Amino acid sequence: MMSIISKVLSTLSILQLVHSGFSSFEFYQLKKQLSLIDGLQQDITLPYDIQLEVLCGLLLFTLSVFLSFEKLKYIPLVRSRELLTQNQYLQEIQMNKATKKDNLIGNDPFGEFSCMPSFINIHRKRKEIRDYLSIKEVEKE
Amino acid sequence: MNASRKHFQNIESPRSIGFNKSRLLYVHDLTSLVFGCGAGILQLESQKGFGMFIASYIFVSLLFVVWICQLNPQKYFQNPVKDIFFNSLIRELAGFVMSWTFTYALLG
């Protein structure tokens, strides 16, 4: 839901910025041409409505960036499949807190170290596969 | 025993640190580029443009602390003031000036 609001707001803010940019471009082109005529006031500034439109576009864009963040959710690998959340947008840096969610969802953050393929007993695995295949052949016969 | 317990309590997770920094950088990158475009559209010059950068940078950083860090930045960053306000300052200034001058030249 938040991401949809964020997308709508960012689209709106970009449209506002493009529109105010075009208005600003037209204004400065007109100012350049008018400056050629003598006797006209030279220190005219950008109209307030264009300035307000730019500020509004910038604020809306900032809001949309912040709304695009959602609270972190995790899918547990064990037990129920309900999403877990800690009501946080970021992850805590203390190791004992950072690994809390891994324990809750049943994830092993050091899996790449603890499950090393080179430590697998390859002879036992081959024996298991040979036994499995021999049983299959017997079943076929 | 106590010394080793204290030592283990102070261990920080590099994965979380990297994740939090990438989120902060994403917010700063996007906003500084768009605020630069805004400065260009308003045709700001010299000090006014840099003033707008400083104001926008502080505003976005404070909003990040309040909204995303939930007023607890020390939980998510090793050195909150340095990480949030100073680490990416030059990078964002470069992005801001680039989009500011580009838009200024395009519209002026």
Q: Which of B102, B91, B100, B83 minimizes the C-alpha distance to B17?
A: B83
Overall domain count for chain A: 2
* Residues with Cβ within 8 Å of residue A91, at least 6 apart in sequence: A72, A98, A101, B13, B15, B16, B19, B20, B76
Q: Which of B2, B64, B10, B75 minimizes the C-alpha distance to A95?
A: B10
Q: Which residues pair with B12 in a beta bridge?
A: A94
- Chain A residue with CA closest to B67: the answer is A66
pLDDT band at A38 (very low <50, low <70, confident <90, very high): low
| A62 & A95 share domain | no
| A81 & A120 share domain | yes
- A46, A68, A90 - which closes a domain: A68
- Chain A residue with CA closest to B39: the answer is A54
Q: What is the pLDDT of residues B34-70, one digit of tens each?
A: 999 999 999 999 899 999 999 999 999 999 999 999 9
| A108 & A132 share domain | yes
| A87 & A110 share domain | yes
| A51 & A91 share domain | no
Inter-chain CB proximity B42 and A54 less than 8 Å = yes
- Maximal C-alpha separation, chain B: 69
What are the residue ranges spanned by the domains of chain B? 14-107
Find the mean pLDDT for residues B7-27: 89
> Smallest CA–CA separation between A86 and chain B, in Å?
13
CA distance B82 to B79: 6
| A81 & A134 share domain | yes
- A25, A51, A68 - which closes a domain: A68
**Residue B16 clears pLDDT 80, i.e. is over it:** yes
Q: What is the pLDDT of residue A42?
A: 66
| A90 & A128 share domain | yes
Inter-chain CB proximity A95 and B37 less than 8 Å = no
User: Which of A28, A48, A53, A95 would best serve as a mutation to test chain B binding (most B beta carbons within 10 A)?
Assistant: A95
- ipTM of the modeled complex: 0.91
| A102 & A115 share domain | yes
Inter-chain CB proximity B43 and A46 less than 8 Å = yes
Q: What is the pLDDT of residue A108?
A: 81
Q: Which domain holds residue A105?
A: 73-139
